[in-house]
Structure 1
Amino acid sequence: MARVAILIDGDNIATRHAPRIAALGKQAGRADIHRAYADAAKATGWSTVPGVRLVHAGTGKNAADLLLTVEAMEMVLTAGVETVVIASSDGDFTHLATRLREIGIKVIGAGEAKAPAMFRAACAEFYILSAPEKKPPAPKAPPSKLDLEIRAAIELHSQKGSGMRIALLGPKTAIRISSFPEKTWRKYLEARPSLYDLDPRGPDAHVRFRPEGFRD
């Protein structure tokens, strides 16, 4: 079984791809070496991924790329590594992949869709690490009966679009706001920024409703 080294550009690849990268290495043989190269002072998250050794590459420009390259060559020349998995979307690894291939090492690349074509072509195999699917936004809940009453009151008492004094909401609607969790009108309105626009605190502070918040 081929000895495999999984080498990850930790400054370029997110930890969410760790399971997929590990699977590629195991498919290729015995993944004895599994490292991520990055500036350890940054919160890359690779230090907490089980089975991955975080190698501190320093803070210089391209430090992680250079150290990964040096250690990859060392591994294939002295440690019997026959397959190298390079996880990065950085085209700078094209030279490394090409040189490894020329000396008989199988190179498996893994990166996001933005990885350059030259890097992909330099690898014997290249796999796209898919971005996480964006969850569709939750459907907007329709305004409550109370909010519809508040909107109607604001419409009735607003003058020239200035809105309605917050202090008048109770008397004009006969609603006991103290019976609601927020306890006060300001807290209730502030908790619904998609529905209401408020003036700063003050005795004459007004509230206006946002028409878009009441659309279906």
Structure 2
Amino acid sequence: MATKTTPNRQQTHLAVLIDADNAPAAIVEGLFEEIAKYGVASVKRIYGDWTQPQLGKWKQVLLDHSIQPIQQFAYTKGKNATDSALIIDAMDLLYTRRFDGFCLVSSDSDFTRLAARLREEGLMVYGFGESKTPDPFVRACDKFIYTEILRADPVTPAEPAETGQPQEPKAPAAKPKPQRVPLDFIAKVLDDIADDEEDWVQLGALGQNISKLRPAFDPRLYGFKKLSDLIKGHPKRFELQARGGSNSGGKDLYARNVRK
């Protein structure tokens, strides 16, 4: 008797392109953990001039994460040829039609048009950059994650002083302080998309609409692990309700503004 097999759920394939000049190596663990939430990193490439000492920390983690380094020399002093190499590769990968989305890891606004072009082809674009990332690049992405919340800076031994005496180890970088929650913005989105008499909105739909309007919105920026925690943490503004799910047997979460 033949054994019935269950087909695997179709995976989302992503191309991860990293601008080594504008991304710290300290994010690498958190970066790929975050990317795994959205799909499979089928291609992982990082661009830079690997003859330069400032990329030394990236060299230490490339093998551990199977990231392919792409060498790009600076043709002219003071000009960055890395961006062009990354953009050309992105377009080559786009036309293979093998990917569902791209992860662009950089704080450089030069990739704004690339993000927009990829989205024109119907692909998801996830941006990763520091809080200094210019707003046009942030808004050109479907979703943008600030890398400060992904950093993992372990305590590392300091270099010995000239006297030969060891110095104190370097402390890890401090996590950014939580930002102020945009309560009025969330409340307006809830009002805009509420479609029943009771004004309840499914939490997943709320998150999707918030991301469309503000790609960089992330509950972790405000000190909350998930959107449900953020809503629950402001009982004077929002209500959260769990309802029985239709298929999985779990609970679906709904939110609404507190009625006055």
Asked if residue 78 in structure 1 is aligned to residue 96 in structure 2, the reply is: yes
* Cα separation, partners in 2 of 1:106 and 1:84, compared to 1, 3 Å: same
Determine helix, strand or coil for the equivalent of 1:114. Answer: coil
Aligned to 1:28: 38
Matched, 1:42 2:52: yes
Q: Secondary structure of the equivalent of 2:52? A: coil
Q: Does the 8 Å contact 1:2/1:30 carry over to 2?
A: yes
Which of the numbers 72, 75, 89 marks the counterpart of 1:57? Answer: 72
* Pairing of 1:70-149 with structure 2 (within 5 A): 70-78=88-96, 80-130=98-148
3-state SS, counterpart of residue 35 of structure 1: strand
Query: Which consecutive residues of structure 2, in runs of 5 or more, have no partner in the other structure?
Result: 1-10, 154-164, 166-260
By percentage of residues, which structure has more helix?
Answer: 1
CA–CA distance in 2 between the matches of 1:22 and 1:42? 25
Runs of 5+ unmatched residues, structure 1: 135-190, 192-216
What percentage of residue pairs aligned between the two structures are identical? 33
Secondary structure at 1:130's aligned position in 2? helix
Deviation string 1:77-111 (CA, Å, 9 cap, x unpaired) is 11511110001000010000000001111100000
For the residue of structure 2 that corresponds to 1:104, the secondary structure is coil
> SS where residue 148 of structure 2 aligns?
coil
Cα distance, 1:25 vs structure 2? 2.2
| Structure 2 Cα separation of the partners of residues 55 and 24 of structure 1 | 23
* 1:16 matches 2:26: yes
> C-alpha separation between the residues in 2 aligned to 1:133 and 1:19?
7
> 1: distance between equivalents of 2:118 and 2:106?
16
Q: Deviations over 1:107-126 (max 9, x none)?
A: 00000000011000000000
CA distance in structure 2 between the partners assigned to 1:124 and 1:79 by the alignment: 19
Deviation string, structure 1 residues 7-50 (Cα, Å, up to 9, x no partner): 11001111001112212322221111111100010131323212
What residue in structure 1 maps to residue 188 of structure 2?
none
TM-score, with structure 1 as normaliser: 0.59
Partner-residue secondary structure (3-state), 2:95: helix
**SS of residue matched to 1:110:** strand
Partner residue in 2 for 1:5: 15
Q: Does the CA contact (< 8 Å) of 1:46 and 1:54 recur in 2? A: no
User: How many residue pairs align between the two structures?
Assistant: 137
Q: Are the equivalent residues in 1 in contact too, given 2:30–2:152 (CA < 8 A)?
A: no
Secondary structure at 2:44 match in 1: strand
The one-letter code matched in structure 2 to 1:59 is A
Q: TM-score, normalised by structure 2?
A: 0.49
SS at match of 1:20: helix
**SS of structure 2 residue aligned to 1:36:** strand
